Amino acid sequence: MKVLIYRYGSICEPDIISGLNYLGFDTIECTKEMEDKSLKPAVAAKIVSGIIMENKFDFCFSINFFPWLSDICQLLNLKYISLIVDSPVLELYSDSIKNPVNKIFLFDLELFNSFNKFNPANIFHIPLFANTRRIDDLIKNTSKEVKEKYKSDISFIGSTYEEKNIYTSKEMSDYNRGFHDSIVEAQSRISGLNLLYDLIDENFTDEFLKKSQGLLFLPKDSSNGDIKALVSDAYLSYRASFLERHRILFELSKEFNVDLYTASNISNLPNVNYRGMARTLTEMPLIFNMSKINLNITSKAIKSGLPLRLFDCLGSGGFTLTNYQSELLVLFEDGKDLVCYEDIDHLKELCSYYLSHEEERLIIAKNGHDKVAKYHNVTTRLLQIIDIAFK
């Protein structure tokens, strides 16, 4: 089968391409958006339509959803497989989601429940994955001396969400500002359940968008647009994620040696060891593998699903302490493949315990790796996606 891969620079794209090639697919990549981040959709559509008409593809594939790409595939009668790996993805509110050529796969079950009604035959739920074949080769072929550079007691890779707090609530009325601060603070302390959407109403969202200098918008053709979802998922959830990650890293770093790999500003985390940014393909698996404890703190915008970080960490043989998500125990066993924490005090207890119980820690890390390698590797997931898309 021949596949057109539309790329924009997602960290998932190399593993998808590697997985398809490993399975025997012939892949052609369109990388214009990677080369020119200001590329207009109309220009991209012209380029892609030309590539499609010059070749005979079995389907087009992209990480996340591009409405204009769906429309082009609809016009040219080409199946379009879109794998959603982020949340929120505001492009899902475009009317293009209804195109019959779409095969859209959502990793978050609550996200699936929200969007499936708009195209029931063509929207599916599927978990994410890790490329354990690539990761195992990297770890096996990396010298001991290089690996030693990535040793950590406790490490976290990812944004603190400080740079994603793109609004201020200062201009809101006293009541709504107090309401905002209270619900965001409460959400930052709750795992596995996002209450923000149900807590806010139209009066709050109207004032919020008027006074907060918001920069995110729903697509113009969004007849299924949900302003409450825009505010709760793209604004408030990010603020709650920032509060949670800052609190966890700040508190842990007072008692433990914590290393942070991020592009975020961490000036307000004085006891955390800043380790710069981690290269996804060449450094991140080594950090996961060489850390005694890896933290997974799921973004609040991910309501029920498991983030890519969790699969990559387990797939690297890294021992993982994670917050609870409602889909977690469907795929993994707490205490066997990974360990779930309930709150910051419980997390501190677990860190103390597993830092001093190496044998248990290593057994759990191996179980987690083997579970991902057997059931959640990229080639297995791609076969499932293609089987569903082509029935």
In this predicted model, what pLDDT tens digit does every residue of 58-77 receive, in sequence order? 999 999 999 999 999 999 99
Residue 233 sits in the same domain as residue 111: no
Residue 361 sits in the same domain as residue 237: yes
pLDDT for position 211: 87
pLDDT beyond 70 at 175:
yes
Residue 9 sits in the same domain as residue 56: yes
Q: CA nearest 311: which of 291, 284, 351, 341? A: 284
Residue 115 sits in the same domain as residue 55: yes
Cα 44 off chain centre by: 25
For 364-383, what is the mean pLDDT? 98
Residue 336 sits in the same domain as residue 278: yes
Burial class of residue 157, CB neighbours in 10 A (0-12, 13-18, 19+): buried
Pairing of strands 123-125, 102-106: parallel
Q: In what order do the strands lie in the sheet with 273-274?
A: 273-274, 258-261, 152-157, 291-296, 320-323, 339-341
Whole-model pTM: value is 0.96
pLDDT beyond 80 at 50:
yes
Please write the tens of the pLDDT for every residue from 273-328.
999 999 999 999 999 999 999 999 999 999 999 999 999 999 999 999 999 999 99
pLDDT for position 277: 96
The Cα 371–Cα 80 span in angstroms is 30
3-state SS assignment for residue 54: helix
Q: Where are the beta strands (DSSP E) in 158-284?
A: 258-261, 273-274
Residue 97 sits in the same domain as residue 240: no
pLDDT for position 391: 84
pLDDT for position 214: 67
Q: Which helix (H) or strand (E) holds 321?
A: strand 320-323
pLDDT-derived band at 168, boundaries 50, 70, 90: confident
Residue 144 sits in the same domain as residue 118: no
CA distances to 63, 107, 198, 372 from 84, rounded to whole Å, are 6, 6, 24, 19
Pairing of strands 258-261, 152-157: parallel
Mean pLDDT value across the chain: 96
pLDDT for position 88: 94
How many distinct structural domains can be found in the chain? 2
Residue 367 sits in the same domain as residue 274: yes
Only one residue has tokens 């975020």, namely 264
CATH number where 55 lies: 3.40.50.2300
The Cα 172–Cα 180 span in angstroms is 9
pLDDT for position 215: 73
Residue 105 sits in the same domain as residue 164: no
Pairing of strands 2-6, 339-341: unpaired
CATH number where 356 lies: 3.40.50.2000
Burial class of residue 116, CB neighbours in 10 A (0-12, 13-18, 19+): middle
The Cα 376–Cα 388 span in angstroms is 16
Residue 46 sits in the same domain as residue 17: yes
pLDDT beyond 90 at 336:
yes
Residue 213 sits in the same domain as residue 307: yes
Please write the tens of the pLDDT for every residue from 89-118.
999 999 999 999 999 999 999 999 999 999
Residue 121 sits in the same domain as residue 148: no
pLDDT beyond 90 at 166:
no
pLDDT for position 135: 98
State the amino acid at position 96 in one-letter form. Answer: S
Please write the tens of the pLDDT for every residue from 211-266.
887 678 888 888 777 899 999 999 999 999 999 999 999 999 999 999 999 999 99
Cross-strand bridge partners of residue 296:
322
| Structural domain that includes position 386 | 2-129+380-390
- Whether the CA torsion 108, 337, 157, 37 is positive or negative: it is negative
pLDDT for position 282: 97
